[in-house]
Amino acid sequence: MTTLETAAQPEYLRRIAIDPLSRVEGHGKVTLLVDRDHRVRQARLHIVEFRGFEKFIQGRPYWEVPVVVQRLCGICPVSHNLAASKAVDQLVGAREITPTAEKIRRLMHYGQTLQSHAVHFFHLASPDFLFDFDDPAAHRNVGGVMADFPDIARQGVRLRKYGQEVIRVTAGKRVHGSGNVPGGVNKALTLQERNYLLADLDLMIQWGRNILKLIKQAYALNPGYFTHFATIRSNYLSLVRADGALDLYHGGLRARNDQGEILFDHLDYRRYAQVLREQVKPWSYMKFPFIHSLGPDRGWYRVGPLARVNNCDFIPTPLAEEERKEFMALGEGQPVHLTLAYHWARMIELLHAAEAIQELLLDPDIFGDELVVRGETAREGVGVIEAPRGTLFHHYRINEDGLVEKANLIVSTTNNNQAMNESIRQVAARYLDGKELTEPLLNQIEVAVRAYDPCLSCATHALGQMPLIVELVEEESGAVVDSLVRDADGVAQDAH
Amino acid sequence: MSEDQSFMLDGRRVPFQDGQTVMTAALAAGIYIPHLCFNPEFAPHGSCRVCLVKVNGRVQAACATPAASGQIVQNETGELREIRRGILQMLFVEGNHVCPACEKSGACQLQAVAYYVGMLAPHYTHFYPRRPVDASHPEAVIDFNRCILCELCVRASRDVDGKNIFAVQGRGIQAHLVVNTTSGKLGATDFSLADKAAQVCPTGAILTKHRGYEIPIGQRLYDRKPISVVGDVATVAESKGGRRHE
């Protein structure tokens, strides 16, 4: 770990806040404490929102939970809906749901992965690839992409729309549907719906391949930057299928260390509490999970596309598998630790999602009429899924009347908390240290956070310019000597 | 009974028989007057005030106004629509009606009537009352957050089921639905899903347990056609209180 978490004498340092972070989902801020010589002494990513879902679903009927908790998020609500549904399946004794139900759920999930990954890359992250760091902030956004690269922007919009349509057909609505019910789903697909979704799919797969070309070109142009920017060595956690394949819907937990060695494998996710712990730090609302056996200092890990592609033995669709092999060559036998490679891995998954949707649409099980199973009821259920942003844990306990007594959610982004902090500290130390801080430099901090595609509150999302206040504070008195404010329209002005 | 008894409703002649109200005569003639606490199987209650119409210039509840020859009744006017919308807006903030998460959404009479009168979003400040959920019964759950005090369950349990399980206690803003047992719990009663009282709730206050969201979006009672065409939750035979047959 770098040592920039806590400065020795913060009261004598200048505080710079990037608040809120832009082009990420949710609200968060980064604070930097800098001394007179512009040396960065402390860098922290703070999550400033409190959500409270675990508390306010207490006393609600369990069958309501998947539909309520999906309101945590507007970008990947299907993840919360499915993780909760998998937990609720255990409550109603559905040890194994029917093939039709599982395939409809998978379709829903891959549709969501496709649209969520498309939103992140095209709408939020693509300006970081397509424009220079010192590109004017007013232009360095999705509007700038639309103006300069209309074809790329259009593909992003269409890919997202396609994923949303898969969700609508399976869940009833594009956002916050109610297709999943305790023990299964409430509808299968009709032939008409299947044909509707098949019509555009080849195009989506083609576009998925094109984006990967774009990313690989960007890497080839500046391999040094990709290799070193925000790169940290870490452990990795994800679900994998029983045969080691990448599986976003179901599997056992696998963790690898930074050498790629297996820490634990195919662990039943209902036993997650045996291997994972959460640490609380006084300066953040977000907890810091770690692998128990390694302790908080060495046990923090990364989740999400980079972790999944590093962790799996293969991807079970041909085009994405080909891309995975090429990607893994970067690691030369070890996991790929490049933080910017998150984008690359994410687009491999986008391609995989499109291919998986194709396989599912051609599977006759999606027309089946056995939708729900029930069995012996239970009082506790754990549902885990690979959400677009990483491993997502939902854990519920109910009372004898069926009302929720206790809930514990470990949201994907929380798993990456320490890693995001480590990445911004690396950027601060490597790129900002000793320099007069400028907006383009501060943007590099955001580029590092953005690579993780964090969903900081898992509900709201800020899109557009980063309102930013930089204050110069008198060392002894703490008085503000000067400050610069950039508003949400990207206009910088003196605050005085 | 004379054959030529009729009144005028929005310019249309509506025949009626002795004993009919403006509401029952209008419904018999295929004219919809929005309502919540009215159910043709029970005596008029006149409490929700959603069915207000103008009878000879005076605002009255259609469900409780006897039909009379020569009445001039106004129903679909901008003024009445506004009054009704205001009543719905007040109903929505008085309880905790969270449509996005409610399993009754799409098959809820309160929601359907709100849409019908043009209420698309909350208007007044929410009261956010703290009300309990009673899941003590093995088959049914009562979410008191969603009760609008229409007393249909009270009337059904008393008049049809002969069980007298429900009552309204308190007055004015303190009025609230209670279960007629010492513990106040539904689990202590002989309530059954086959009871009439289990079929009449116009909101999601009385629900079958373990069953949420079974009907896909697009196939729910009010997903395709408005309530003026579909009819009430309790009176649509196929719906069984908003649910399709198994």
Contact B210 A64 (CB under 8 A): no
Q: Which residue of B has its CA nearest to A69?
A: B101
Q: Quick one: A119 and A155 in the same domain?
A: yes
Residue B134, beta-bridge partner list: B142
Least confident of A371-375, B2-6, B21-25, B216-220: B2-6
- pLDDT of res. A480: 60
Q: Which of A368, A394, A415 is the last residue of a domain?
A: A415
Helix (H) or strand (E) holding A87: helix A77-91
Q: Rounded to a whole number, what is the distance in Å from the CA of A199 to chain B's nearest CA?
A: 22
**Which tokens hold the place of A12?**
């004598």
Q: Which residue of A has its CA nearest to B215?
A: A186
Of B135, B213, B214, the CB nearest to A403: B135
- Number of Cβ within 10 Å of residue B227's Cβ equals 22
Q: Quick one: A161 and A15 in the same domain?
A: no
Of A63, A64, A186, the CB nearest to B216: A186
d(CA A85, CA A62): 10
H and E: helices and strands count for chain A? 18, 17
Whether A438 shows a pLDDT value over 90: the answer reads: no
Split into its structural domains, chain A has a count of 2
Q: Quick one: A37 and A76 in the same domain?
A: no
Model confidence over B48-104: pLDDT tens digits?
999 999 999 999 999 999 999 999 999 999 999 999 999 999 999 999 999 999 999
Predicted confidence band of residue A464 (pLDDT cuts 50, 70, 90) = very low
Q: Quick one: A36 and A64 in the same domain?
A: no
Does some domain include residue A451? yes
From the candidate CATH numbers 3.40.50.720, 3.30.70.20, 1.50.10.10, 3.40.50.800, the one assigned to the domain spanning B103-239:
3.30.70.20
Does some domain include residue A60? yes
Least confident of A103-112, A133-142, A166-175, B144-153: A133-142
B99 CB within 8 Å of a chain A CB: no
Q: Quick one: A35 and A127 in the same domain?
A: no
Q: Rounded to a whole number, what is the distance in Å from the CA of A399 to chain B's nearest CA?
A: 10
Q: Which of A395, A415, A435 is the last residue of a domain?
A: A415
Q: Quick one: A22 and A155 in the same domain?
A: no
Global pTM value: 0.90
Does some domain include residue A429? yes
Nearest CA-CA partner of A216 in A51, A335, A326: A326
Nearest CA-CA partner of B151 in B128, B133, B169, B130: B169
Residue B166, beta-bridge partner list: B179
Q: Quick one: A103 and A39 in the same domain?
A: no
ipTM, two decimals, is 0.92
Q: Quick one: A34 and A124 in the same domain?
A: no
Nearest CA-CA partner of A375 in A86, A92, A87: A92
Question: Which of the residues B134, B143, B213 would you substitute to probe the A interface, choosing the one with the greatest number of A C-beta atoms within 10 Å?
Answer: B213
Model confidence over A339-351: pLDDT tens digits?
999 999 999 999 9
d(CA B242, CA B105): 10
Contact A61 B136 (CB under 8 A): no
Residue numbers of the domain that contains A465: 10-48+420-494
Predicted confidence band of residue A425 (pLDDT cuts 50, 70, 90) = very high
Name every chain B residue with its beta carbon within 8 A of the beta carbon of A61.
Answer: 133, 135, 141, 209, 212
- pLDDT of res. A200: 96
Predicted confidence band of residue A493 (pLDDT cuts 50, 70, 90) = low
Q: Which residue type sits at A129?
A: F
Nearest CA-CA partner of A386 in A291, A243, A251: A251
Does some domain include residue A322? yes
B215 CB within 8 Å of a chain A CB: yes
Question: Which of the residues B217, B220, B224, B243 would you substitute to probe the A interface, choosing the one with the greatest number of A C-beta atoms within 10 Å?
Answer: B217
d(CA A308, CA A319): 17
Task: Give the SS3 label for residue A423.
Answer: helix
- Number of Cβ within 10 Å of residue A355's Cβ equals 22
Asked whether the beta carbons of B154 and B166 are under 8 A apart, the reply is yes
Domain positions in chain B are 12-80, 103-239
- pLDDT of res. A48: 66
DSSP secondary structure, B70-103, as one string: T-EEE-S-HHHHHHHHHHHHHHHHHTT--GGG-T
Asked whether the beta carbons of B152 and B37 are under 8 A apart, the reply is yes
Hunting for tokens 């696998």 — which residue is that?
Answer: A254
Whether A432 shows a pLDDT value over 90: the answer reads: no
Give buried/exposed letters for B48-71 (b at 16+ CB in 10 A, else e).
bbbbbbbbeeeebbbbbbebeeeb
Model confidence over A258-316: pLDDT tens digits?
999 999 999 999 999 999 998 888 777 778 899 999 999 999 999 999 999 999 999 99
Q: Quick one: A311 and A406 in the same domain?
A: yes
Model confidence over A221-268: pLDDT tens digits?
999 999 999 999 999 999 999 999 999 999 999 999 999 999 999 999
- pLDDT of res. B78: 97
CA A390, A397, A183 angle in degrees (round to 5)?
A: 70
- pLDDT of res. A489: 45
- Architecture per CATH, domain B12-80, reads as Roll (3.10)
Nearest CA-CA partner of B60 in B52, B50, B49, B68: B52
* A contact set with B (CB within 8 A): 59-61, 63-64, 67-68, 71, 92, 171-173, 176-182, 186-187, 401-403
Q: Quick one: A263 and A118 in the same domain?
A: yes
Does some domain include residue A482? yes
Predicted confidence band of residue A403 (pLDDT cuts 50, 70, 90) = very high
Q: Quick one: A305 and A200 in the same domain?
A: yes
Q: Quick one: A379 and A463 in the same domain?
A: no
Model confidence over A191-232: pLDDT tens digits?
999 999 999 999 999 999 999 999 999 999 999 999 999 999
Whether A473 shows a pLDDT value over 70: the answer reads: no
The proportion of chain A whose per-residue pLDDT surpasses 70, expressed as a percent, equals: 91
Does some domain include residue A334? yes
Q: Which residue of B has its CA nearest to A89?
A: B210
Chains A–B, number of C-beta pairs less than 8 Å apart: 57
Model confidence over A379-398: pLDDT tens digits?
999 999 999 999 999 999 99
B12-80 and B103-239, same CATH topology: no
Does some domain include residue A5? no
Q: Which of A390, A415, A440 is the last residue of a domain?
A: A415
The CATH number for A214's domain is 1.10.645.10
Q: Which residue type sits at A450?
A: R
**Which tokens hold the place of B138?**
């093995």
Model confidence over B121-175: pLDDT tens digits?
889 999 999 999 999 999 999 999 999 999 999 999 999 999 999 999 999 989 9
Contact A178 B217 (CB under 8 A): yes
Q: Rounded to a whole number, what is the distance in Å from the CA of B98 to chain A's nearest CA?
A: 10
d(CA A267, CA A307): 16
Task: Report B:140-169 residues touching A (Cβ under 8 A).
Answer: 141
Does some domain include residue A125? yes
